[in-house]
Amino acid sequence: MDKIYLNSMKFYGYHGVFPEENKLGQHFTVDLQLEAELKEAASTDDVSKSIDYGAVHEVTKEIVEGPARNLVETVAEEIAGKLFAEFAMLEACQVRVNKLHPPIPGHYDSVSIEIYRSRD
């Protein structure tokens, strides 16, 4: 299966279990791997036969910058579900949501959740 990658998309959201996360918000990045058959798009040079990267970004932004969720697991699941709903040619996706400054003890570059979903 062919793959499209959207890496390190940057957003500001209000997700987390601590009240200050919901009030102050924080930076998130999202990495996507989209699986679809892209041979026709490549052979015809026709963008309508591929997945619109800009539309994928907007779907992702709408969720990450939308209503607060307790878990980034929920954010990742909502992104995957919306991508399948919006893009009929999408066969599978891997979604990684990175919380860049988690308010937990220790020193981290980020904490991430990654899911892989495919059409049933």
Which positions are annotated as active-site residues?
Answer: 99
Element (H, E) at 77: helix 72-86
- The Cα 36–Cα 91 span in angstroms is 5
Name the E strands within the chain.
2-13, 26-36, 92-99, 111-118
Contacts of 35 (CB under 8 A, 6+ apart): 1, 2, 3, 90, 91, 92, 93, 118
